Homo-oligomer: A and B are copies of this chain.
C-alpha cells in the first residue's frame, strides 16, 4: 500500500485537489500561497470558524475514511447552522503520520468533498504536515446578511427552550453521520424571532449552560421531557456529546405556531420544548457533557 512517504507532499496535494470544482465566487483556489474569493456584498458580513477531529478522540483507527472527512466538515457546517449563516469557503489542515496510506487520506478527502458539495462549500486550500497522530482541521468562512445571523446571547427570561431531533448515544454512529441542521436554522431565522441559538456539540447540559451564560440567565428544564435517542436514558440525553442538534430560545407566545409550522416544513425531524430560560443567573454549574482536556 502506497504511503504519504512514498509519493511526497506535492503529489499528495495534487491528488487531493484534482477535480475540485468551484463556483463563481472563487477567484483562485489551491495552488498559490493564499486562496482568493470574491468579497461579500456590502450588505453582508463574513463569518469564520475552525474545527478539528483527531484520531483517538473524535474517531478511531477503525472509522471508515470517508466518514472521518464527513464528520470533520459536518461539525463546522453545524457551527454555521448555529448562526443561521451560509458557509462558503473551507481550508483543510491534514496532520498525518508518514506511514498513513494514500488511500486513507484520499478517502478522508472524499468525505470532506462530498459533504462540502452538498452544502455549497468550496474547499479553496489547505495545509499538510507530518505528525504522530492523524487529525483533520477545517477552517470555514461564510456570509450572512447584516443583522440576519443569530447568536447565543439574546435569550430572555421566560423564553421557551426547544431542541431538534433526539439526544444521547451519538457515539453509536450518529457522530459520524449526523446532518448539520443548516436548512432548518435558516428556515427558523427567516420565519421567527429566534432570541438565542447554538448547536449542541458537547452535550445539552454543558451547551445549555453556555447559552445561559451568554444570555446572562438560568434555565428550568424538565428532564423527563428530553427527546432521547432510542435506548438512551435521561443522563445520556443530558450529558452525551456530539448530538449536533439545534438548541434555541423563543418567546412563549411564538412556541405553538412555530411547532405547527415546523411539523409541516420538517415532518421527519422532531422539535421538542424542553423547558425555559429563567431570570436567575446560574454559575458555572455543569451536569455532564464533554471537555476535551478532562
Contacts and interface: CB of A to CB of B under 8 A. Distances in A.
Contacts of A142: 34
A291 B132 contact: no
Nearest to A11: B284
B39 A45 contact: yes
B50 A293 contact: no
Identify the interface centre among A27, A48, A91, A153: most chain B CB within 10 Å of its CB.
A48
A32 B152 contact: yes
Interface stretch (A75-83, A219-227, A259-267): A75-83
Contacts of A8: 291, 293-294
A35 B12 contact: no
Interface of A: 4-5, 7-10, 12, 27-28, 31-42, 44-54, 56-58, 79-80, 82-83, 85, 89, 91-93, 95-96, 98, 124-133, 135, 137, 139, 141-144, 149, 151-153, 198-199, 214, 284, 291-294
A33 B152 contact: yes
A91 B292 contact: no
Identify the interface centre among A46, A128, A141, A284: most chain B CB within 10 Å of its CB.
A46
The quantity of this chain's copies bound in the complex is 2
Contact of A48 (B58, B96, B124, B199): B124
Identify the interface centre among A42, A83, A95: most chain B CB within 10 Å of its CB.
A95
Given A34-B79, A38-B45, A292-B130, A52 B139 contact: no
Contacts of A152: 31-33
Given A32-B151, A41-B39, A152-B33, A5 B293 contact: yes
Contacts of A137: 50, 52, 93, 127, 137, 139
Given A32-B152, A36-B149, A131-B133, 7 more contacts: A36-B47, A48-B125, A50-B125, A50-B127, A91-B139, A96-B293, A128-B293
A12 B294 CA distance: 11
